[in-house]
Amino acid sequence: MEVFSTRAEWRAANDEARRRGGSVGFVPTMGALHVGHRSLVEAARRSCDTTAVSIFVNPLQFSDPEDLERYPRPLSADLTMLEAAGVDLVFTPEVTEIYQRFPVMPETRITVAGPAEGFEGGGRPGHFDGVATVVALLFNLTGPATAFFGEKDFQQLAVVRTMVADLGMAIDVVGCPTLREDDGLAVSSRNARLSAPGRRAATVLSASLRAGAAVIEAGASAPEAESTMAERVSAVEAATLSYACVVDPTTLRAPSELIASQTYRLLIAAVIDGVRLIDNMGAVAGTAP
């Protein structure tokens, strides 16, 4: 495994991989890696000749300096995990390598209207601008590749897909299924911040999604599915619902009506133990009885 810290080195390493006739699978991360990240690496290794991973904590997507400061950076452990997973190339740039006038932030920002609006973007102004800008920069440095993202952060995935399509980037974006614990809870680094009772309460998110998906597949309307999800969460005292919505999986807009055999996405977020948790699930609309 080779580790690079400069733009020039990273660009050259990926160019060389392609020059040898190989395809590049790219997994952009902010580090603090867990089994969900490893599953993305494994997907990249199955599909591509060279597996490349970036580790960069992006200040442009944090609105609170204290959140940025607290973000974990276990670089040594992350590199150990990536080497064990068979990664070929790793990019670990300093902030000044990505934003070369830091602490002055770049004047060029990418805004993806539509899928970036509302939900996680609604309460975090500028967050998805920061995500889109750094991902676009990393794509530019990496060059033509297949990029792997988890469906766990479905809104982020939709933002990246829209950006790549609109700007004609030479990137294929692959969404990988959400990893779940045995009880259905989506794997997330935030789960470690939950108390034991909070951890048990958190399973209501996946249970609510399953219930919402079931009524959609039985032919119910989007409002009926949203009500079903909301009722499930409201029954758990420890959980405070942020949203429970049915959306078009590409635009993330609410459908005027559900069309039989079309796939929709159920999004949910709730706060438990002061920790904001998100989850999502796909569902194919059925025909009303």
**Nearest-angstrom CA–CA distance, 210 and 9:** 46
Cβ-contact 255, 242 below 8 angstroms: no
Tell me: the pLDDT tens digits for 120-168? Answer: 988 788 899 999 999 999 999 999 999 999 999 999 999 999 999 999 9
Tell me: the pLDDT tens digits for 215-259? Answer: 999 999 999 999 999 999 999 999 999 999 999 999 999 999 999
Which pLDDT value is given to residue 74? 93
Tell me: the pLDDT tens digits for 82-101? Answer: 999 999 999 999 999 999 99
Q: For 142-182, where are the E strands, in sequence order? A: 145-150, 171-176
pLDDT (mean) for 252-273: 96
**Nearest-angstrom CA–CA distance, 43 and 85:** 11
Element (H, E) at 55: strand 50-55
Which pLDDT value is given to residue 65? 84
pTM recorded for the entire structure: 0.94
Residue 23 tokens read as: 């395809």
The domains found in the chain, sorted by start residue, are 2-176 (3.40.50.620), 189-281 (3.30.1300.10)
Is 289's pLDDT higher than 80? Answer: no
Query: Could you confirm whether 37 is annotated as catalytic?
Result: yes
**Nearest-angstrom CA–CA distance, 244 and 208:** 9
Q: Which residue out of 25, 26, 36, 37 is catalytically annotated?
A: 37
